[in-house]
Amino acid sequence: MKKDIVVIGTSAGGVDALRELVGGLPAEFPAAIFVVLHTSPDSPGILASILGRAGALSAVCVSKVEAIEPGRIYVPKPDHHLMVDRGFARATRGPKENRFRPAVDPLFRSAAQAYGPRVIGIILTGGLDDGTIGLAAVKELGGTTIVQDPEDAPVPSMPLSALTHVDVDHCVPLAEMAALLTRLTAEKPHEKGAFIVPDEIRIEVDIAKENNALEAGVLSLGEPSIYACPECHGVLLQVKADTNERRLRFRCHTGHAYSMQSLLAEMNERTEESLGSAFRAIEEHVLLLRHLASHVRNDSPPAQALLERAVKAEAQRDLVRQAVLHYPAAADSAGA
């Protein structure tokens, strides 16, 4: 069987990397290409037009369901996962994974489940570690794995994570990737036999396809942890790690999923926001106390009491301000 399904995941620095990669592919490229680039929910959704102008291949933004055709690039509409089924691609509003929708892992898992050895999975430049678990699924089900050389990537975290946790087939600079893809997709068909999809991959694909997480079997993925989901505040399950993953990850009963790095980054961000809110609240309290004190006689006991409270509140405010200023940055958490 030919390798005719190419899935690509990228984040920071990804637009330029994708442009270069697809720009190097021939017009007769025999595989369909599916791309996830981390974007904000209110992104203008112009990636398809950017990639369509970058080279000889046409590109489409998947808003519902699109038939799969060779030599075509598929990207999801903003705030949607891109999923691959036999014969078509679809956009879904499944739970966020690794803080993003679209996320790389759902795309890679779904392609691996549908096409097994026919899949080529590629991780390009990006922060944190989205795509590592998905690339492991591609490898597990017989697909081919490619990672951009971290020294060639403007943001190397995603490639480094993939190389650390997946037995990658090819690690090459971006400039060599189009030629490698052209060669891999032109190889003679070969049979690898039937592939068996593990229950864990099936469950996680079903969740990303908008199926109810509990009905899909999310509780069988792991044991409850002591941590709450930053998104919905439900209990996070610690997903049972297999020999291919070798790393911690979590999923809640409504379906939100986190790698170790993405959970650290999300909790860091939300803690920083909470500290900032506390600082603003105390500052407003100080302003109110001083404002009230100014409307009574300066030497009266009520005025003095208000000013004393204001001084105490200012001391608390300054402590919180120091906590905000010196709280570990998200980048520090990302290196865990």
- Span 223-278, pLDDT tens digits: 999 999 999 999 999 998 654 445 789 999 999 999 988 998 888 888 888 888 99
276 and 309 housed in the same domain: yes
Unique residue bearing structure tokens 């009520």: 302
Of 259, 277, 295, the position where a domain reaches its end is: 259
Residue range of the domain that includes 320: 262-334
- In a 13 Å sphere around the CA of 7, the CA atoms on its Cβ side amount to 36
- Lowest-confidence segment of 78-92, 124-138, 145-159, 312-326 by average pLDDT: 312-326
Is the preceding peptide bond at 102 cis, omega within 30 degrees of 0? yes
* Per-residue confidence (pLDDT) for residue 27, from 0 to 100: 95
Tell whether 317 is covered by a domain.
yes
Under the banding of pLDDT at 50, 70 and 90, the label for residue 331 is very low
Tell whether 86 is covered by a domain.
yes
Q: Tens of pLDDT along 296-314?
A: 876 788 888 988 999 999 9
Kindly state the average pLDDT of the residues 17-30.
Answer: 97
36 and 152 housed in the same domain: yes
30 and 116 housed in the same domain: yes
* Per-residue confidence (pLDDT) for residue 193, from 0 to 100: 66
CATH number of the domain encompassing residue 32 = 3.40.50.180
* Per-residue confidence (pLDDT) for residue 293, from 0 to 100: 87
Q: Tens of pLDDT along 120-135?
A: 999 999 999 999 999 9
115 and 160 housed in the same domain: yes
Q: Tens of pLDDT along 164-216?
A: 999 999 999 999 999 999 999 988 766 666 789 999 999 999 999 999 999 99
C-beta atoms surrounding 234 within 10 Å:
16
Structural domains of the chain, count: 3
Active site residues: 11, 38, 130
232 and 308 housed in the same domain: no
- Is pLDDT at 332 greater than 90 in this prediction? no
* Per-residue confidence (pLDDT) for residue 21, from 0 to 100: 98
First CA to last CA across the chain, in angstroms? 39
- Is pLDDT at 115 greater than 50 in this prediction? yes
> In terms of pLDDT, which residue wins out, 326 or 138?
138
- Is pLDDT at 333 greater than 60 in this prediction? no
Kindly state the average pLDDT of the residues 68-92.
Answer: 97
85 and 155 housed in the same domain: yes
> In terms of pLDDT, which residue wins out, 328 or 238?
238
Measured CA to CA, the distance from residue 300 to residue 212 in angstroms comes to: 64
* Per-residue confidence (pLDDT) for residue 242, from 0 to 100: 58
As a whole number of Å, the CA-based R_g of the chain is 24
- Is pLDDT at 335 greater than 90 in this prediction? no
